[in-house]
Amino acid sequence: MDKFTNEKVNDPQLIKLRKKVNATLVRELNLGARVAVKMKDGTIYKEFLEAPKGDPANPMSFDEIEAKFRNNARLAIPKKNMELVIELIKNFERLSDVKEIVALL
């Protein structure tokens, strides 16, 4: 979430880059994405992603989920609670009641 501050969104270099981007919705791709980057010398780099990261067809690892949780949770809950939530989830099978997690959020 720290990437979406007014300061960063209004950075002159980012504004310059955004002006070079042309996005088009292709409904047939559903949640997939196709990108092509044309360099000054005419070279074109292409990539296709059938499913976004986090989709069942392209799952996130636990480490990726943990990093995403940390990045977002730090804005809403104390660090101690964040660490406890992570530990409880790592040992979810032994958890007697999910309310233990909810109480920390």
What's the length of the chain? 105
Residues of the domain holding 81: 62-102
Q: Which of 86, 93, 80, 95 is nearest to 66 (CA)?
A: 86
Q: For residue 100, give Cα distances in angstroms to 8, 15, 84, 93, 97.
A: 37, 44, 10, 13, 6
Whether residues 13 and 45 fall in one domain: yes
Look at residue 9 and tell me if it is in a domain.
yes
* Number of domains, the chain: 2
pTM (two decimals):
0.67
Buried b (16+ CB within 10 A) or exposed e, 63-98: eeeeeeeeeebeeeeeeeebebbbeeeeeeeeeeee
pLDDT in tens, the chain (105 residues): 667 788 888 999 999 998 989 888 889 998 899 999 999 999 999 999 999 999 999 999 999 999 999 999 998 999 999 999 999 999 999 999 999 999 999
Look at residue 57 and tell me if it is in a domain.
no
